Structure 1
Amino acid sequence: MRRIGDTAIAAVTVVALGSGVWLLGTAHLSAPPQPAAAEGVPDPGEERLTAPALPPSPPTRIRIPSIRVDAPMTGLGLTPAGSLDVPPARNKNLAGWYEAGTAPGETGTAIVAGHVDNSEGPAVFYDLGALKRGATVELDRRDGSVAVFTVDAVEVYQAQDFPDEKVYGAARRPELRVITCGGGYSKATGYRGNVVVFAHLTGSR
């Protein structure tokens, strides 16, 4: 886990998370899939296909059909040390969102995080690195709406090279980041980096 900064990047509800988030999976059975280089090249045309922003409403569930994710969500805050907290590792099918920041569907950058594995094996975002550009991510919201995002890119970063501003920086449209462990594994240090999904809002219902 790495420390989060407190620099304001947009409205009062949006906070810049100043460092990469290290979600350490506690069991390593086999390497989770990692994104291909081609998935990290966004399509410039996607900029024109943004749906209107939604009013703020907390997410309650995330679905990523192409990698069989269908999970409830919990709010995440900061630890006493100032780093992003994580969902309870014992619940492998649970994702979290940074509830002091942007809600998915609002204008700005919403942050979702989850474990790649736990002591029992693969967890909610084990297959996140297999996600393809153009895939759909859906978030049910407390107000009854569903925010539909399209994946622009899927990238993997080593911890020391995590691009804070690119991942957590302010956005002029509704954007989403989904983060889990990645970048290789060592018994001595755990996972060496993170897989990050970049997506933007393309619809709602």
Structure 2
Amino acid sequence: MSRTHQPIWRSAALSAAAVCLTLTALTGCSSGSSDSGHKSTGAASTESGSDAGKSTTTGAKTDAKTDAKQPAPPAEVSIPSIGVTSSLLQLGLNADRTVEVPPADKGMTAGWYTGSATPGEPGAAVLIGHNDTRYGRAVFHDLRKIHKGADIAVRNTLGKTAHFTVTSTESVSKKAFPTDKVYGKTTDRALRLITCDGSFDAQGHPVNNLIVFATLR
């Protein structure tokens, strides 16, 4: 896989929560031996060796303690059926308006995109995790094994747990990422999990994204 950082979502316009973002398709999951540097939605990607992979919360929600009206942010995700339990990084936007992803050296840790809904609140909450990185298997390596009806539990910083039921999964080409379906406005209390999927291109990048759709129980 290339040593540069590639965009995670395919470009498309999205207006949500009065913030207009350009979204690109998730990449950076490698065959396991090369550098991973995923970029997520926002716009373009940063270059390797710059500020790629930071877990800031630029342009997104603030700590619940600073605003009583803000719901407590998620702290942990658990998917018992595939043996996943992970703390959650907070992923904001890079300087170029791409959404951050967990750094490659934290491949076993998933992240919550803070520009999405808080899990359990109305709207689509988005969790992003690597499939593989240059360090090996990553947190969402077995996400493709999840089935409809499976439980996904998200615990917040106050210790409250929201349980979601998987309604469907979809493997999509990064060239045709369903931006509105994933990030679009919804009155449901929804959850989306996203990682890389599919075969590899000539540069060692997976050509698809795996999206898991779930709703609050």
Partner of 2:27: 23
Mapping for residues 114-129 of structure 1, pairs under 5 Å = 114-129=129-144
Decide whether the 8 Å contact of 1:71 with 1:93 is kept in 2.
Answer: yes
The answer on 1:8 being equivalent to 2:21 is: no
- Is residue 148 from structure 1 mapped to residue 163 from structure 2 by the alignment? yes
Distance across 2 between alignment mates of 1:149 and 1:16: 27
**TM-score normalised by length of structure 1:** 0.78
How many angstroms does 1:163 deviate by?
Answer: 1.0
The answer for the alignment partner of 1:194 in structure 2 is 209
Residues 25 and 181 in structure 1, CA contact (< 8 A), matched pair in contact too: yes
Give the corresponding residue for 2:188. 173
Shift of 1:183: 2.5
- What SS does the aligned partner of 2:180 have? helix
Q: What is the aligned partner in structure 1 of residue 64 from structure 2? A: none
Kindly provide the amino acid, as one letter, of the partner of residue 58 in structure 1: P
Number of residues paired by the alignment?
174
Matched residue, 2:120 = 105
Q: Which runs of 5+ in 2 are unaligned?
A: 1-6, 34-69
**Aligned match of 2:92:** 77
Q: Matched residue of 1:166: which SS?
A: helix
Runs of 5+ consecutive residues of structure 1 not aligned to the other structure: 30-54
**Separation of aligned partners in 1, 2:155 and 2:140:** 17
3-state secondary structure, aligned to 2:209:
strand
1:102-123 CA-partner distances (Å, limit 9, x unpaired): 1100000001001001112110
8 Å Cα contact 2:129-2:194 kept in structure 1: yes
| Cα distance, 1:25–1:170 mapped onto 2, change above 3 Å | same
Decide which of 177, 197, 200 is 1:185's aligned counterpart. 200
1:8 aligns to what SS in structure 2? strand
Taking structure 1 as reference, are residues 164 and 200 closer, same or farther at Cα in structure 2, changes over 3 Å only?
same
Query: TM-score under structure 2 normalisation?
Result: 0.74
What SS does the aligned partner of 1:90 have? helix
Q: Relative contact order (alpha carbons < 8 A, sep ≥ 6): 1 or 2 greater? A: 1
Q: Report the RMSD for the aligned CA atoms in angstroms.
A: 2.0
Runs of 4+ that moved beyond 6 A: 3-6
Q: Distance in 1 between matches of 2:161 and 2:21?
A: 25
Q: Is the 8 A contact 1:18 1:168 kept in 2?
A: no
